[in-house]
């Protein structure tokens, strides 16, 4: 994984810092230029947070064979891409290889995401979006401002977390989690843009989706599970999964998965002795790799810390 944070006092140096981009920045605003680029890059995805104090025009060619997303976070004026003004709640979605012109205002901050075709297809499947000419006809899309801002801030927070402890993300599972969090944010953007389908599932179909996900979780105890992997597994959209869980169990799918796995850990703890299985090992068997987060979730679910759960040997002694 590539992780980097740089500061600049020249627009061209800033432009050159973004890996894989063929572009140049021309400073339009007057004054001493100050900017920063924070970026992470791993297999199939690049995410960056760029900021600059002065108006800039960016021109070049988008990375080939990838899809580029741009989410404005802040600016003293309007952004525009390809001659289209980006209003609040607007974001850029543009195919790779095309020439571009992007105007950013003074005091701008922007999140950029570049994904390969495989990741884009997964995002589209999860959002229930067809990757066709209708989707690509416009490069500036509009969704509710709160949803657009939320997605941008989620990605900005992710970048900060990786920059704070880059060594913690050398692990394959951690990198997989990063990719999934990026996908989640993009799914939110596209799902809001696509109108809800008029084809309503029956309750029986929704219950079957819940059942299949339940079985998948039980049969894959230590596998990293997120909304996108569930959508891919069932070949249904994120909206379908969300609606099915809300209708059948009145909770969201990830909360259901977490509760189900916590129940399996508790069963393990109750049925084993401390000497045979530690709390951390029991948690790891069901995909909980961060013990602190696990302990908090366990207490919230069962009203006690896992270390306070009475193990089999203790219950046997108490029964005598």
The pair of structure tokens assigned to 220 is 């894959």
Q: Which CATH architecture has domain 197-320?
A: Orthogonal Bundle (1.10)
Work out the angle at residue 222's Cα, subtended by the Cα atoms of residues 314 and 230, and round it to the nearest 5 degrees.
130
Question: Which of 75-79, 135-139, 145-149 is the most confident on average?
Answer: 75-79
Structure tokens at 24: 């140049």
pLDDT class for 62, splitting at 50, 70, 90?
A: very high
Sequence-distant (6+) residues with CB within 8 A of 196 are 239
3-state secondary structure of 48: strand
Q: CA triplet 223, 229, 231: central angle to 5 degrees? A: 145
pLDDT at 90: 93
Is the pLDDT at 318 greater than 70, yes or no? no
Question: Mean per-residue pLDDT for 27-45?
Answer: 95
- DSSP lists the bridge partners of residue 101 as 59
**Residue pair 100/62 in contact by the 8 Å Cβ criterion:** yes
205-246 pLDDT, tens digit each: 998 999 999 999 999 998 888 887 888 888 888 888 888 888
Cβ-Cβ contacts under 8 Å for 227 (sequence gap 6 or more): 126, 184, 187, 238, 241, 253, 254
In this structure, which topology does domain 2-192 adopt according to CATH?
Answer: Jelly Rolls (2.60.120)
Partnered with residue 82 across adjacent β-strands are none
What is the rounded average pLDDT of the residues 250-267? 91
Residue 127 reports pLDDT greater than 80: no
Tell which residue, 176, 155, 175, has the closest CA to residue 226: 176
81 vs 96: CA distance, rounded Å: 14
Establish whether domains 2-192 and 197-320 are of one fold. no
Q: φ and ψ at 36, to 5 degrees?
A: -150, 150
Q: Is the pLDDT of residue 319 over 50?
A: no
Annotated domain spans of the chain: 2-192, 197-320
Residues 276-296 have pLDDT tens digits of 999 999 999 999 988 888 998
Please, what is the end-to-end C-alpha distance for the chain in angstroms? 56
Exposed/middle/buried for residue 57 (C-beta within 10 Å: 0-12, 13-18, 19+): middle
């Amino acid at each position: 994984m590539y992780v980097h944070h740089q500061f600049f006092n020249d627009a061209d140096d800033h432009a050159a810092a973004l890996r894989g981009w063929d572009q140049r920045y021309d400073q339009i605003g007057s004054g001493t230029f100050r900017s920063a680029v924070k970026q992470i890059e791993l297999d199939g995805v690049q995410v960056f947070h760029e900021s600059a104090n002065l108006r800039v025009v960016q021109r070049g060619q988008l990375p080939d064979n990838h899809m580029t997303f741009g989410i404005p976070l802040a600016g003293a004026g309007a952004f525009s891409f390809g001659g289209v003004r980006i209003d609040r709640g607007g974001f850029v979605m543009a195919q790779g290889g095309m020439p571009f012109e992007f105007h950013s205002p003074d005091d701008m901050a922007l999140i950029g995401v570049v994904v390969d075709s495989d990741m884009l297809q997964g995002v589209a499947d999860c959002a229930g979006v067809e990757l066709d000419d209708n989707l690509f006809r416009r490069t500036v899309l509009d969704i509710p401002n709160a949803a657009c801002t939320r997605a941008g801030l989620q990605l900005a927070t992710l970048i900060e977390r990786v920059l704070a402890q880059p060594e913690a993300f050398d692990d394959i599972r951690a990198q997989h989690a990063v990719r999934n969090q990026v996908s989640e944010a993009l799914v939110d953007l596209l799902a809001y843009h696509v109108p809800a389908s008029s084809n309503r599932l029956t309750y029986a179909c929704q219950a079957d989706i819940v059942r299949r996900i339940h079985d998948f979780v039980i049969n894959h105890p230590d596998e990293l599970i997120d909304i996108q992997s569930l959508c891919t597994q069932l070949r249904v959209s994120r909206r379908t999964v969300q609606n099915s869980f809300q209708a059948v169990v009145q909770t969201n799918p990830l909360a259901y998965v977490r509760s189900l796995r916590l129940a399996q850990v508790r069963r393990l703890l109750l049925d084993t002795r401390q000497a045979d299985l530690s709390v951390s090992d029991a948690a790891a068997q069901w995909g909980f790799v961060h013990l602190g987060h696990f302990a908090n979730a366990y207490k919230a679910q069962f009203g006690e810390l896992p270390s306070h759960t009475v193990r089999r040997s203790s219950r046997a002694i108490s029964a005598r």
